[in-house]
Amino acid sequence: MSSALLMSFLKRAQLQKVAVHCEGTIRSCSNSSSSSSDDSAQTFDYWTRCEDSVIEKEFQRGKMILMVNKQPAVHSDSFIYNPTTSKYQMQSAPRLRLFDCQEIRQVLSPYGLEIGTLNSALLDYYHDDNDVVDIDLRALFGTNIMLNEPPKESGISGQTQLEQLARELGVRFMPTRQAMLTMDDAAQRELLAKCIIITRWYRLFLHCPQCAQLLRMRASKASATCTHCQQDFYPNISPVAITLLRDESNEHTLLVRHKRSAGQVYTCIAGFCSPGERLDQTVRREVAEEVGIECWDVRPLDGSQTWPLPAGSLMVPFVATADMGDEIQASISELEYAKWFSRQEVAEALRRSEEDPLLIKLYRHLSESGKDPETRIQLRYIPPQGAIAHHIIKNWILREF
Over residues 61-71, the pLDDT tens digits come to 999 999 999 99
**pLDDT of 9 higher than 50:** no
**pLDDT of 296 higher than 50:** yes
DSSP E strand boundaries for 247-334? 252-258, 269-272, 295-300, 305-307, 313-322
Q: State the average pLDDT over residues 114-134.
A: 81
Over residues 322-369, the pLDDT tens digits come to 999 999 999 999 999 999 999 999 999 999 999 999 888 888 877 777
Q: How far apart are CA 120 and CA 155, in angstroms?
A: 31
Over residues 236-261, the pLDDT tens digits come to 999 999 999 999 999 999 999 998 88
pLDDT of residue 7: 41
51-200: CATH number: 3.90.79
Q: Report the phi/psi class of residue 76: left, alpha or beta, with left for phi > 0 and alpha for psi in -120 to 50.
A: alpha
**pLDDT of 133 higher than 60:** no
**pLDDT of 24 higher than 70:** no
Buried b (16+ CB within 10 A) or exposed e, 192-224: bbbbbbbbbbbeebeebeeeeeebebbbbbbeb
pLDDT confidence tier of residue 37, bands split at 50, 70 and 90: low
The residue among 130 and 150 whose pLDDT is bigger is 150
DSSP H or E segment with residue 288:
helix 279-291
* Range list for CATH 3.90.79.10 in the chain: 239-397
Q: State the average pLDDT over residues 261-288.
A: 96
Q: Report the phi/psi class of residue 160: left, alpha or beta, with left for phi > 0 and alpha for psi in -120 to 50.
A: alpha
Q: State the average pLDDT over residues 5-9.
A: 39
Over residues 65-108, the pLDDT tens digits come to 999 999 999 999 999 888 887 788 888 999 999 999 998 999 99
**pLDDT of 120 higher than 70:** yes
Q: Which CATH number does the domain 239-397 belong to among 3.40.50.1110, 3.90.79.10, 3.40.50.920, 3.20.190.10?
A: 3.90.79.10
- Best CA proximity match to 143, nearest among 172, 169, 171, 116: 116
Kindly report the pTM of this predicted structure.
0.86
